[in-house]
Amino acid sequence: MANPHKGEIELKAGDNTFILRYSIDAICSLEDEMDKGFPAIAAEMGDPKTMRVSSVRKVLLAGLREHHPDMTLKHAGELMLAAGGAVVVLGKVAEAFAAAFPDAEAEGKKSPPQRANSRGAGSLS
């Protein structure tokens, strides 16, 4: 069962349920694999003019590896079909991307600390 507090999203494919999670390691591996930064990858996934099915498959695999370490690129492609196709998978990927970067204010958390002025001593001296 997926844990939404950890950024996990369920992806159903037939009778099977898979868990997507874009941890920092998953995102770093994906950036290395695609030779692009995460914002560029997310933008590509959100634009039908630039989105490639092969990229969707890579993004899907990156999100599956934590909970399904034996998953291969070929299996990820088969899973895409079983789950309802690239459009369905893109919806789940978008959910998992959003879960990986929850809005801090929406969760009632403090904003990250601001960087000290580079000219001043700051509070650490």
Instruction: Indicate whether 28 belongs to any domain.
Output: yes
Query: What are 66-117's pLDDT values in tens digits?
Result: 999 999 999 999 999 999 998 899 999 999 988 888 774 455 555 455 555 5
56: containing domain: 22-100
Instruction: Indicate whether 43 belongs to any domain.
Output: yes
CA 59 – CA 36 distance, rounded (Å) = 12
pLDDT at 105: 46
Which residues, at least 6 apart from 40, have a Cβ–Cβ distance to it below 8 Å?
A: none
pTM: 0.78
Instruction: Indicate whether 61 belongs to any domain.
Output: yes
How many residues are listed for the chain in this entry?
125
Instruction: Indicate whether 119 belongs to any domain.
Output: no
Which residues, at least 6 apart from 116, have a Cβ–Cβ distance to it below 8 Å?
A: 122, 123, 124
Instruction: Indicate whether 75 belongs to any domain.
Output: yes
From 1-5, 92-96, 121-125, the region with the lowest mean pLDDT: 121-125
Instruction: Indicate whether 93 belongs to any domain.
Output: yes
Q: How many Cβ atoms from other residues are within 10 Å of residue 114's Cβ?
A: 6
Count of structural domains within the chain: 1
pLDDT at 102: 76
CA 52 – CA 56 distance, rounded (Å) = 6
Instruction: Indicate whether 123 belongs to any domain.
Output: no
Look at 49 and 125; give whichever has higher pLDDT: 49
Query: What are 15-72's pLDDT values in tens digits?
Result: 999 999 999 999 999 999 999 999 999 999 888 898 899 999 999 999 999 999 999 9
pLDDT at 125: 46
Instruction: Indicate whether 96 belongs to any domain.
Output: yes
